[in-house]
Amino acid sequence: MKLVINIPCYNEEKTLSTVLAEIPKKIPGIKTIEVQIVDDGSTDRTSEIAATYGCKIISHKKNLGLGRAFKSGVEAALESGADIFVNTDADNQYPASYIPDLIAPVMTGSVDIVIGNRVPWKVEHFSPLKKTLQWFGNLVVRNLIGTNIPDTVSGFRAYSRESLLRLNVTTKFSYVLDTIVQAVKMDLTVSSIPIVTNPPTRKSRLFKNIFQHMWKSGTSLVRLLIIYRPFQFFGVLAVAAFIPALAIAIRFLIFFFLGIGKGHVQSLLFAVVLVVISGLFLVSAILAFLIGNNRKLLEENLYHIKVMSWNHRQKKEKSLHKK
> Model pTM greater than 0.85?
no
Express each pLDDT in 308-319 by its tens digit. Answer: 888 887 787 777
Residues 3 and 27: their CA atoms lie apart, in Å, by 9
Report whether 68 contacts 78 (CB < 8 A): no
Which tens digit of pLDDT belongs to each residue from 85-121? 999 999 998 999 999 999 999 999 999 999 998 876 6
Strands (E), the chain: 2-9, 32-40, 56-60, 84-87, 113-117, 157-160, 190-194
Distances (CA, A) of 298 to 166, 169, 294: 12, 14, 6
Distance CA 10, CA 46 (A): 8
Query: How far apart (Å, rounded) are the C-alpha atoms in residues 269 and 22?
Result: 68
Output phi, psi for 264, to 5 deg. Answer: -125, 25
Model pLDDT, residue 237: 93
pLDDT tens per residue across span 195-238: 998 877 666 655 566 676 677 777 777 877 788 788 888 999 99
Residue 53: CA count within 13 A, CB half-sphere: 24
Each residue's pLDDT tens digit, 160-190: 999 999 998 887 777 888 888 888 888 899 9
